[in-house]
Amino acid sequence: MTWSETIILSIVEGITEFLPISSTGHMVIASSILGISNDSFTKLFEIVVQLGAILSVVVLYYKKFFDFSRIEFYLKLILSAAPVLIVGLLMAKKIDKWLESPTTVGITLLVGGIVLLFVDSLFSKPKIDHERNLSYVKGLGVGLWQILALIPGTSRSAATIVGGMSQKLTRRFAAEFSFFLGVPTMFAATGYKLLEAYKHDKVRPAAESLFTHHNIMLLLAGNVIAFIVAMIAIKTFIHYVQRHTLRAFGVYRIIAAAAIFLLMFQGVIKKEQKPQTPEGASTAQVSVVVSGKQ
């Protein structure tokens, strides 16, 4: 991976990770156009770069994450994150097949786009606008919706925002809780990915190592870029959803789905990719929620 490719993918990650438009779908398009979609380091990079995006949430909402007197906040996050982590492990092989299919990404982008066209009218009477008013049961309800994000192209953000709105959360708070929920979920996925990649890298020939000085520098730079871009994206998104519906994101997803199908038709994106993960393990197991990467 080159420096220019690193910058492009990092910007794509930072913009799309917390918006309801599927970072997986956009990574599929971007890496395929760049011609690096099947590269082992690219697969590692696309997940590890999430760390930068995750940290942007922690920094922006540091008062919540570091207020240790509010134990309920942490308990609600753990309870809400548990379903997707458990199901992700149980369905690892099935999800791995989905991850290899750009067709799946295109279809779920399209279906999710249609849902976002109507979600505001379906859940038009929100009552919950703060974490202290969110019960454990409703928090778990949002977490169950996050399971849908195991299907690439769904978008973890979209699934949890729609799930939050179904539990009577306002658009703004549904978006914020989606950000919060992403922290334990993506930390688990990224940490596992790094650990497995490192363990398997030790038995590789030195010439094939994924953790060369060059690659480590790319990972560090990518996370810094993703962190900065994600902070801007989160602030912009919160400002937007306070004043507008999610319909525009639905339209955008439909356009993105059309772009994927067009690129598949032209042969730029292969219909069924078979990526070689750097650690030789199931991509689904190590990434849990790439969609996410959602």
Distances (CA, A) of 24 to 21, 179, 224: 9, 17, 20
pLDDT for position 59: 95
Task: Compute the Cα dihedral for 248, 149, 39, 205 and give only its sign.
Answer: positive
Q: Over the Cα atoms of the chain, what is R_g?
A: 18
Buried b (16+ CB within 10 A) or exposed e, 235-270: eebbebbeeebbeebbebbbebbebbbebbeeeebe
Distance CA 289, CA 46 (A): 12
User: What residue ranges do the domains of the chain occupy?
Assistant: 3-283
How far the first Cα of the chain sits from its last, in Å, is 23
Q: What angle do CA 280, 286, 288 make, to 5 degrees?
A: 145
pLDDT for position 277: 42
pLDDT for position 64: 86
Give the amino acid at 271.
K
Distance CA 243, CA 171 (A): 10
Distance CA 214, CA 3 (A): 10
pLDDT for position 236: 96
Distance CA 8, CA 225 (A): 10
Q: Count CB-CB contacts under 10 A for residue 277.
A: 22
Distance CA 99, CA 150 (A): 9
Residue 289 near residue 150 (C-beta atoms within 8 A)? yes
pLDDT for position 265: 87
Structure tokens at 151: 């299907």
Give the amino acid at 71.
I
- On the 0-12 / 13-18 / 19+ scale of CB atoms within 10 A, 114 is middle
pLDDT tens-digit profile, the chain (294 residues): 899 999 999 999 999 999 999 887 888 788 888 988 778 888 889 888 989 999 999 999 998 888 888 899 999 999 999 999 888 778 766 665 666 678 888 999 999 999 999 999 999 888 999 888 999 999 999 999 999 988 888 999 999 999 999 999 999 999 999 999 999 988 887 887 788 788 877 767 766 788 889 999 999 999 999 999 999 999 999 999 999 999 999 999 999 999 889 988 888 877 665 544 444 333 333 343 433 444
Give the amino acid at 198.
Y
